[in-house]
Structure 1
Amino acid sequence: MSQDITRKDKIRSDPRLLAERALPQDGEERDGGEPKRRRARSVTVNLSESPLGWLHARGHLSDRQYDAGEKLRADWERAHLAPRITMRWDAAPVAGAKRRTPAVLNETEAQLAAKQRFTNAIDHLGSDLSDIAWRIICGGEGTPVAEKNLGWPARSGKLVLKIALDRLADFYRLPG
Structure 2
Amino acid sequence: MAERRLERVEVAVDGVATQVLVDLEESPLGWLARRRGRDGSALVGAAQLVAGERLRADFTRAQMMPRLTADWEAVGRSGRRGPSAGLTPSEAAMAARQRVSAALEAAGPEFAGLLTDVCCFLKGLEQVEQDRGWPARTAKVVLGLGLDRLARHYGLAVAARGPERAGPIRAWSAQGRPAL
Smaller-chain TM-score bracket: 0.5 to 0.7
Instruction: Confirm whether residue 50 of structure 1 aligns to residue 50 of structure 2.
Output: no
Q: Compute the TM-score of the two structures, normalised by the length of structure 2.
A: 0.63
Instruction: Confirm whether residue 68 of structure 1 aligns to residue 45 of structure 2.
Output: no
- Contact residue 106 and residue 153 of structure 2 kept, 8 A: yes
- Residue 157 of structure 2 aligns to a residue in which SS? coil
The alignment-based identity, stated in percent, is 41
Which structure has the highest strand share of the two?
2
Equivalent of 1:88 in 71, 74, 91: 71
Deviation at residue 85 of structure 1 after TM alignment:
2.2
Deviation at residue 47 of structure 1 after TM alignment:
11
Deviation at residue 133 of structure 1 after TM alignment:
1.1
Give the alignment of 1:1-176 within 5 angstroms: 49-58=26-35, 59-89=42-72, 90-92=74-76, 104-176=86-158
- Contact residue 28 and residue 118 of structure 2 kept, 8 A: yes
Which structure has the highest helix share of the two?
1
Q: In terms of mean alpha carbon deviation, does 46-55 or 68-77 score higher? A: 46-55
Deviation at residue 57 of structure 1 after TM alignment:
1.6
Deviation at residue 93 of structure 1 after TM alignment:
7.1
Question: Aligned partners of 1:137 and 1:91: how far apart in 2?
Answer: 29
Question: Aligned partners of 1:154 and 1:70: how far apart in 2?
Answer: 24
Structure 1 unaligned residues grouped into runs of 5+: 1-45
Aligned residue-pair number: 126
Runs of 4+ with deviation above 6 angstroms: none
